[in-house]
């Protein structure tokens, strides 16, 4: 009997992560996705409509104990795609000298360290020819920073990109595709109403790119159109 491909999406209660879960389901995938708390979310509404193809797990990505517990619960599972969607932002106009230590640490933890911990913890659940992806940002490109602004956020996403490059070097012989994805400036709670893209203009194309790159080993940093971005 043919089996449906499966994906594990971390951070899917709303916004881009929820849209990714919905998009994979629309393409016939089995989806396991996480929410941070116990409250009912848009993901629960989606699960109620999907008749068993969407499983929901609870995870605060910044809590290593919860991450270890998730790994234990998923023991024996194999996923074709792991995607880590985690990100917070601060005041885009704040120069780095005005950013509090607490805010900077929160950004680095949520946007860089915790996503990489998740990859390190869950990667062995991904099929040998599967894919591992993380939500990055065009603002994480050092070479493309010609406008300033978003200084602490840029630093956190550049850190994520650097850490994922180190991961790729350490797993050089792996057949898995590794992806850092910039979804574009999207109208979400974080992106704001002035953003240039709707979720529907971004996320289906993000999923297109992730699926197309399965079976292509190595790391790529690209946007929702598939265009590779400079580091």
pTM for the whole structure = 0.96
pLDDT at 1: 41
What string of DSSP letters covers 20-59? HHHHHHHTT-EEEEEESSSS--HHHHHHHHHTTSEEEEE-
Cross-strand partners of 6: 30
The span from the CA of 36 to the CA of 43, in Å, is: 11
CB atoms within 10 A of CB 27: 15
The span from the CA of 112 to the CA of 194, in Å, is: 26
Q: Please, which residues have CB within 8 angstroms of residue 37's CB and are 6 or more apart in sequence?
A: 58, 60
Q: What is the pLDDT along the chain (231 residues), one digit of tens a residue?
A: 457 999 999 999 999 999 999 999 999 999 999 999 989 999 999 999 987 899 999 999 999 999 999 999 999 999 999 999 989 999 999 999 999 999 999 999 999 999 999 999 999 999 999 999 999 999 999 999 999 999 999 999 999 999 999 999 999 999 999 999 999 989 988 888 888 899 999 999 999 999 999 999 999 999 999 999 999
pLDDT at 50: 86
pLDDT at 8: 98
What string of DSSP letters covers 95-154? -GGGS-HHHHHHHHIIIIIHHHHHHHHHGGGEEEEEEEEEE--GGG-STT--S---HHHH
pLDDT at 19: 97
pLDDT at 51: 77
Q: Is 148 within 8 Å of 167 (Cβ atoms)?
A: no
The span from the CA of 148 to the CA of 49, in Å, is: 43
Q: What separation, in Å, do the N-terminal and C-terminal C-alpha atoms of the chain show? A: 43
Q: Is 99 within 8 Å of 147 (Cβ atoms)?
A: no
Task: For residue 64, give the nearest of 17, 16, 32, 109 by alpha carbon.
Answer: 109
For 136, the token pair is 């990055």
- In this structure, which long-range contacts are made by residues 36-43, counting pairs with CB atoms below 8 Å and at least 24 apart in sequence? 36/11, 36/60, 36/61, 41/13, 41/14, 42/13, 42/14, 42/18, 43/12, 43/13, 43/14, 43/18
> Cα 206–193–141 angle (5° rounding)?
45
Task: For residue 30, give the nearest of 2, 55, 59 by alpha carbon.
Answer: 55
Task: For residue 17, give the nearest of 212, 181, 214 by alpha carbon.
Answer: 181
């Amino acid at each position: 009997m043919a089996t449906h491909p499966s994906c594990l999406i971390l951070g899917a209660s709303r916004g881009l992560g929820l849209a990714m879960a919905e998009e994979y389901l629309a393409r016939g995938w089995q989806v396991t996705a996480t929410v941070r708390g116990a409250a009912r979310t848009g993901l629960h509404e989606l699960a109620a409509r999907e008749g068993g193809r969407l499983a929901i797990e609870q995870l605060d990505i910044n809590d290593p104990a919860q991450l270890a517990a998730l790994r234990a619960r998923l023991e024996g599972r194999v996923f074709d795609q792991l995607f880590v969607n985690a990100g917070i932002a601060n005041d885009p106009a704040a120069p780095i000298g005005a950013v509090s230590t607490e805010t900077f640490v929160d950004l680095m933890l949520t946007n860089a360290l915790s996503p990489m911990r998740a990859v390190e913890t869950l990667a062995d659940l991904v099929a040998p020819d599967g894919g591992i992806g993380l939500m990055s940002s065009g603002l994480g490109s050092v070479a493309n920073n010609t406008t300033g602004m978003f200084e602490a956020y840029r630093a956190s996403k550049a850190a994520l990109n650097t850490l994922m490059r180190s991961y790729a070097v350490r797993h050089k012989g792996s057949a898995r595709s590794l992806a850092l994805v910039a979804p574009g400036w999207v109208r979400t709670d974080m992106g704001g109403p002035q953003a240039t893209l709707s979720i529907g203009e971004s996320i289906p194309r993000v999923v297109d790119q992730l699926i197309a790159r399965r079976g292509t080993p190595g790391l790529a940093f690209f946007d929702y159109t598939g265009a590779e971005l400079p580091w």
